[in-house]
Structures are given as structure tokens and as C-alpha cells.
Amino acid sequence: MAGVRAETAAAPGLGDPGTLQSITLETGWPEGRVATLRGRDARQQLLVTGSYSSGQVRDLTRGVSYEASPAGIVNISSTGVVTPLAEGRVTVTAISPEGLRASIELVVDNIVVDMPVNFPNQVVPIFTKLGCNSGGCHGKASGQNGFKLSLLGFEPGEDYEHLVKEARGRRLFPGAPDRSILLLKPINAMPHGGGQRMDVDSYEYRLLRRWIEQGMPYGKADDPRVARIQVYPPQRSLDRGSEQQFIVLAHYTDGSIEDVTHVATYDPNDSEMAECSSTGLVKTLDLTGDVAVMARYQGQVDVFRATIPLGIAVENLPPVRNFIDELVFQKLQTLGIPPSPLCDDSTFIRRVTIDLAGRLPTAEETEQFLADADPAKRDRLIDRLLESADYADYFANKWSAILRNKRRNANYMRGTYAFHSWIRDSLYHNKPYDQFVREILAASGEVGQHPPVVWYREVQTIEQQVEDTAQLFLGLRIQCARCHHHPFEKWSQRDYYGFAAFFSRVGRKPGFEPDEQRIFHTRGLATAVNPKTGEQLKPMGLGGEPLDVPPERDPRQALVDWMAAADNPFFAASLVNRYWKHLFGRGLVDPEDDMRVTNPASNPELLQALARHFVEQKFDMKALLRTICQSSTYQLSAEPNAYNLRDKQNFSRYYPKRLTAEVLLDALDSVTGSPSGFSGLPAGTRAVQIPDTGGIGSYFLTVFGRPEGSSACECERSQEANLAQSLHLLNSQEVQSKLANGAGTAARLAGDAQRSHEEKVRALYITAFSRPPAQDELAVALAHIEKLENKQQAYEDILWALVNTKEFLFNH
């Protein structure tokens, strides 16, 4: 990667738009409905779009002038915001500097007599917009300075009680609204830890003042509620460094619509690619790719997506080997990002052996592979690795950690080892993924009879079972919905506890093994209670309908039936995304277990295609890995070209990733010829074969980020580099003893009189990097060997240098 300079500044992006041919003026309202401003505080954001001779469209909202006829009904700002002045029907016209015009009709009503302010629909969103009910302010569990609001306004009834009735109503003065603490603190007229949040002449101040003046009404029980919000336009292609206004409309339960662009809150999913103002104006930065901006209002979310192309001509693509390449290369062509070429054979054998088998290829394997002239040798290597015991060991290590398989005391050892063995055997024999999951979630019996019941030993509560199941097998983080509406998703407490009902009939009693339990299904109707409403909920898949599960049937079986259905939008997608992350270092959705509408896939079509393929292959995990590894996309070089150096989400090259702790220790053992020993395990056990993390300590594994097995999140495994790791590799006693081992690699090479030093140095490079040394590398090594009288020390020095390189520490 050294010496590659990013050429993105000169890239054309969308290119010359050509001549402006027409403009359109829109409000985002459905076709056939006239945008209506109701009440004197209503606002409507306009959107002006220019169509050019090149076929491009661009936002011109801030580049045109506006007229209204008849005058006196509305005011229009230079940013396209319409505010009411009088009731009536008005025609608004946008005029471009070139003289092009576009018009639209608007209606203004209900401003002569003020309508009652609705607390949940109008006041609470102001608290959210100003940050008053955020987790760092009054929305935290204990409140702030004696005043508490519900997090992000998800409990407006509680907010009303705290605000209006608590502290004898001292925060509000209906007879003199401007003297209310609720207004004085946010304008900084009284000391306020949050500083100034609004101005006296702002929309927020005027509406809050009017609410207080009206006597602080809450609203009627039958007042309409927000059913959903809609972002318009939903998607645009934008240049780097450009702007795009969007509109947010709230759709209410009575069919009415309101523009809430200026009271919604916004959050880009990648702050390095775009930023968004409080008024819905997106500004792209200097990176290319896709970025999503979440809009949130009243617990509802929607997303604006921007595609930001680089605009380079993409030619001479690598061969298309399957549907993965079709969809990845299509995306790269749309973005104008040329991919790197295919990697060489040395890189491929090392990469795929680490990714599928969790080890370095042996020198013999590498030499044979490099000498093989068969064009199908890469496919044959993939097949051989997937059928190996090493594959099962490596992926059992991965699954064991996120299934929380660890022993907390000596009595847990038998069950922990049995569960690890069951996971390994399931993977080795390629058990279908839906069956694998069913045998875990619906596990019953004793650890000796059915080892997957160990999972229930670690996830003791229904809440843990719900949250681990959603995160592990559906790619959803629904923990927030246990207490309140999810801030970034549609999941409510009703969704959470409907899902919890699947686990409501899990029974436990002491097992035969000490400290172990017997898991069983207790007959009866499966239900769960929503603690906020007291509602009894039937089992319900996330986003699904309530199910009638007979009392004699284990509801966990019904859960897996729902999960494994071909049309389930989460189950297959979650696994393919998890395995994509394993192979590429980044998921199509990233993090891999946080799939939501506000965190969309970088290539949605590819994620859907992979999920369909996985279902069609009957949840065959080896077939999935084979398909991905056979693609040219997986086999691209990690070396960037001048245009894809900064691409981090479109897989225009292979993204290097540091070896996991266990793989790195095994690689170090392999290269130095000095295997590690683990207390209580047979000699020769590799680090990736350790059954659990609870009873086998290793400073090396800890410092390089081995997970504790206490969470369903793969984020527990740290891949970040730190100083302790560098120091341990450079001068720890553990590493030094491996290098100086009398039966190790350095000693054997020093005592090998049958081969020349050149041959032995080549063997070292083949073992560590799966490639022969370059001429300059060979010359430096040979000179060092000649200089030192102690040849073992010379080889130890060379080994020390090799294992401290990025080439050794990373898969690339």
C-alpha cells in the first residue's frame, strides 16, 4: 500500500450536468393532495429540483427565488420554508436565475382561532429536538437537577405528570407564561446547565408559550397520533461537497399529514461521509459510497439515502464468477470506483486458509499450490479447507464465544466441553443452520444428553434469552425496547414482550450434574405481560402477527418455525451478513448484528441475493462460504489503486484485518516451531481448539483481544492494536522463549547442513508469508546470517523480524 496516492480530488463525480432544462416544485405530499398548513405555527418546506440535459437532477431549493399569489397569505424564506400569514389558497412559484418557473398550490387554514396545543404531538417533539430528553440530560434514568423526562419522549404521559403536576407546578405559570421556568431556562434568562437552547422569537418558544397560555392541555384521548413518517425524496445521487434538502412528513392515524421537517431530529450513519443540519439539509463530505441519514419524530423513523459517486470510468473488471461479482461490480460501476486486480496465488492461499481454517498454510501446502497449474486449483483448495477438521475447530471457536460457552466453576467443565464438542461436530458435518439454531433454542434435557442446554445456563432470564436470540440469530439489537420504544427502530415494548412470550414456558430444575440444570417445557399457554400496559401478549415474531400456540406445544419450536420461514426478513440475512463480516472484516450491514432501517446495507441487493441463495441451499453454511470465497470479489488484491484507497464499504479491494488472538498465537507457534501449552488440555492443542475461555488463562490471548464469552456480540473480541500487544511481540519472555527454543525453528535451521542459507530463508518466508522472499529481503537476511557467528541467533533475529511485521500480523 506504500506509495499509493488517492486521486479522488480530480475524480469527476457525477460530472458536468449540462444545461438546466426544467425545474419542479414539490412539497412531498401524495399526488392528488394539496399541501395544507394548519395553524399559525405550521410550516412547509419546499423542494426545488432541477433537471439537466445530462439526465442529472440537482437540488436548487436555495438557488431560486419565490413568489406567492395572491400576496399576504404566506411568507416564503430564501431556504424554501413557507409560513402562514392568513387563511386561503395560494399559488407559490419558484423562479430559477435562467427564468425557468414551476408552481404549486397550498392551502392555509385554522390560523384565525388557535387550535389547542396537543402535548404528545407538539410539545414533546420540541423537547426531543432541543435535546432536553436525551440520555445525557433530563432523559436519563435519574433525571437532571430534579427534573426528569422520558428518554426521547417515548412516555408523554409521564412527561406531562413530571412537568405539569410535579413540584406543585412551579415550572409553569399560565397567568404569566413568559415567567415560566420552562421558558426562562432554555433562553438563558435563568441559570441553565444545558445553556441556551432556543430564542424568544423562535417557533419553539412561541408554541410552548401558547401551550402554557392555554392552560397546558394534554390533548384528547381520540386525538390523532403519528402513524409513520416519510422522508422525501427517499434517495438521491449527490456529488461530494454538495447539498440536498429533504422533507419529512408525519402521517397521522386520521389520515392527515403535517410537515415536521423542522422539528424532526437527524443522524447520519457515517459522519465522515455526510452531515445534516437541524432543518434537513444534507451536506456531503469528501468520501464516496452510500450514506443514510435517519430522521426521527415521535418514535417513528425513516431514512434518506445518498449515493456519492467517484465517477471514474470502470473498465477491465476481473472475471464475474457468480452473482456476488455481478452485484458488487455493478455497484462499483455506479459509483465509478475501479476495483483492484485479483490477488496472486501466494496471497490467496494464505488468506483463504486463515479465513476458513484459522491457521497458516504449511510450507508444503504452499509450495504445492504455487506449483499447481490447474485453473481450478483455488476452488479445489476452498473445498478441501471446508471439509477439514481445521474448519470445524475454527468456526467452533467463533460460535462458542458468542453462544457464551464458558465455565464459571469446575462443575461447569463437563457441560462446557460437551457444548463445544457439539458445536464443532455440527459444523464439521455441515448441519443445516436452521436445525443448528433449533437444537439450541428449543433445547431440553440435561447437558449430558443434549449439550445445547448449556446455552440456557448462561442466559438465565427471559430478557437475556430474548435479546441474545434477536442479536445472534436475527441481527437485531432490541435491548432498548425492553423499557421504551427503540430510538432507532420501530420496535416497541409490545414487540419485545410478544417475542418474550416464546420463552415463557421454559422450566428449570436441578440436574444430575452438580450446579447444572435440567431444561424442560412446562405445559400451558405461552404469554408475556407488557409491564407498562399490563397487556397479556401471545407469542409474536418481530414484525409478525400473534400466534396461537397450543398448550402442549413448546412455543420455542414455533419461534424457530417463524425464524426459518423462507420469507423471514432477518434470519438468513443475519447469518450471511455475519459470515460476510468474517471474511471481509466488514459486514454489508455494519455492525453485523445491528440490522435496522436506519443502518441500511451498503449493497442491499447483494444482501438480499445472498440471503435467498442461503435459503435455496437449505441453510448450508459451507455452501455459503464456498460461494463467497469463489467470487472474484473475495479474491481481489488488498493493494489499493489510485481511486479505491479511501473506499471502506463497497469491497473494491480486500480489506486487511488483524489475525484474531487465537489464530495469531497458533501462527506464532507454527513459525517458531514452539507450540504453546494450555493447562488441563492435551499437548498439541491449538489455541483455536480451546473449548472455552473461563478456565484456561493466557496472557497472550487476553492482550490480543480474546473474548470472555460473556456476550452475544462479536464486538467483545477486540481487533484493535495497542501498545501492550507491540511490547509483547517485541520483547516478552513468552515470545523470546519461543524464538530461542532448542527444538524450535531457529535451532533446527541453524543445525541443518543439508540446505543452503538461501533455501532456509526461503522456507521461513514461505511459512510466515506463503511467498518467497524478494531479492532485497533475501540479501538482507543472508548478510545478517554471514555476519553472526552464532547461526541460531541469526535465525532467531530473522524470525523475530518476520513475526513483528504487518504482513505477518494481518490477513491481507
Which cell numbers hold the place of 116? Answer: 389547542
Boundary of a domain, candidates 563, 582, 601? 563
Same-domain status, 125 and 69: no
Residue 148 has pLDDT above 80, yes or no: no
Give one word for 171, left, alpha or beta, with left for phi > 0 and alpha for psi -120 to 50: alpha
Q: What is the CATH number of the domain that holds 78?
A: 2.60.40.10
pLDDT digits (tens, 9 = 90+) for 41-51: 899 999 999 99
Please tell me whether residues 291 and 190 are part of one structural domain.
no
pLDDT digits (tens, 9 = 90+) for 362-382: 999 999 999 999 999 999 999
Instruction: Give me 34's grid cell.
Output: 394539496
Based on the fold, state whether residues 153 and 278 are members of the same structural domain: no
pLDDT value at residue 156: 80
CA distances from 165 to 162, 168, 170, 185 (A): 6, 6, 9, 19
Rounded distance, CA 601 to CA 583, Å? Answer: 16
Other Cβ atoms closer than 10 A to 358: 26
Pairing state of beta strands 265-268 and 274-276?
Answer: unpaired
pLDDT in tens, 443-478: 999 888 899 999 998 898 999 999 999 999 999 988
- What are the cell numbers at 426? 455440527
Cα 673 → chain centroid: 39
Which one of 89, 109, 129 terminates a domain? 109
The answer to whether position 783 is within a domain reads yes
3-state secondary structure 363-408: HHHHHHHHHCCCCCHHHHHHHHHHCCHHHHHHHHHHHHHHCCCCCC
178 and 249 within one domain: no
| Domain contains 164 | yes
pLDDT at site 228: 92
- Rounded to whole angstroms, how far apart are CA atoms 448 and 415? 7
Q: Are residues 155 and 82 in the same domain?
A: no
Residue 2 predicted with pLDDT over 60: no
The string over 130-142, giving b where at least 16 C-beta atoms fall within 10 Å of a residue's C-beta and e elsewhere, is: bebbbeebbbeee
Q: Does 193 have pLDDT greater than 90?
A: no
pLDDT tens track for 12-34: 788 899 999 999 999 999 998 99
Q: What would the mean pLDDT of 650-668 be, rounded to a whole number?
A: 95
Whether 395 is in a domain gets the answer: no
Distance CA(361)–CA(744), nearest Å, equals 18
Is the whole model's pTM more than 0.75, yes or no? Answer: yes
Mean pLDDT to the nearest integer, 57-85: 95
Mean pLDDT of 776-789: 92
Q: Specify the pLDDT at position 3.
A: 47
Q: Do residues 188 and 96 both lie within one domain?
A: no
**Average pLDDT over the chain, rounded to an integer:** 89
Same domain, 670 and 729: yes
Asked whether residue 194 falls in the same domain as residue 242, the answer is no
Task: Give domain status of residue 371, yes or no.
Answer: no
Q: Three-state SS string across 616-637, please?
A: HCCCCHHHHHHHHHHCCCCCEC
Q: What are the φ/ψ torsions at residue 250 (nearest 5 degrees)? A: -100, 125
| 787-802 pLDDT per residue, tens | 998 989 999 999 999 9
329 lies in some domain: no
Establish if 135 belongs to a structural domain: yes
pLDDT-derived band at 135, boundaries 50, 70, 90: low
pLDDT greater than 90 at residue 344: yes
pLDDT at site 479: 79
pLDDT tens profile 707-757: 887 788 888 888 788 888 889 889 899 999 999 998 999 999 998 889 999
Q: How far is residue 47's CA from residue 60's CA, in Å, rounded to a whole number?
A: 8
Looking at the structure, tell me whether residues 458 and 552 fall in a common domain.
yes
- Together in a domain, 94 and 123: no
CA distance 414 to 671: 33
Average pLDDT rounded to a whole number, residues 275-295: 93
Contact (Cβ atoms closer than 8 angstroms) between residue 180 and residue 212: yes
Position 731 in a domain: yes
Reported confidence tier of residue 654, pLDDT bands at 50, 70, 90: very high
| Domain enclosing residue 672, as ranges | 658-811
Q: Are residues 125 and 204 in the same domain?
A: yes
Yes or no: say if 305 and 292 are a contact pair by the CB < 8 Å rule.
Answer: yes
The residues pairing with 57 across neighbouring beta strands, listed in sequence order, are 51
The CA-CA-CA angle for residues 736, 740, 743, to 5°, reads 135
d(C-alpha 128, C-alpha 799), whole Å: 58
- Cα–Cα dist 191/188, whole Å: 6
Q: What stretch of H or E contains 66?
A: strand 65-69
**DSSP 8-state secondary structure symbol assigned to residue 342:** B
C-alpha cell of residue 699: 496472557
pLDDT of residue 1: 40
The pLDDT tens digits for 79-123 are 999 999 999 999 999 999 999 999 999 999 988 777 888 888 888
Residue 346 has pLDDT above 60, yes or no: yes
- Hey, is 216 helix, strand or coil? coil
Closest CA to 692 of 472, 457, 417, 403: 417
Q: H helices of 698-756, where? A: 699-703, 723-731, 733-739, 745-750
DSSP 8-state symbol, 39: S
Q: Cell for 489?
A: 427502530
Please report where in the chains the cell 414539490 appears, as a residue: 26
Q: What share of the chain in percent tops pLDDT 70?
A: 95
* Contact predicate 687/661, CB 8 Å: yes
Q: Which of 8, 44, 2 is nearest to 646 (CA)?
A: 8
Q: Encode pLDDT of 473-492 as tens digits.
A: 999 988 777 776 666 667 88
Q: So what's the pLDDT on residue 486?
A: 63
Can you tell me the mean pLDDT for 118-129?
84
Helix (H, G, I), strand (E, B) or coil at 453: helix
Residue 686 falls within a domain, yes or no? yes
Asked if 688 and 397 count as a contact pair (C-beta separation under 8 A), the reply is yes
CATH code of the domain covering residue 275: 2.60.40.1080
Domain count across the chain: 5
Is the pLDDT at 168 greater than 60, yes or no?
no
Residue 712: the pLDDT is: 82
Residue 69 CB: number of other CB atoms within 10 A?
11
132 and 175 belong to one structural domain? yes
pLDDT category at 406 given cuts 50, 70, 90 is confident
Domain edge (last residue) among 543, 563, 583: 563
Q: Over 88-110, what HEC string results?
A: EEEEEEEECCCCCEEEEEEEEEC
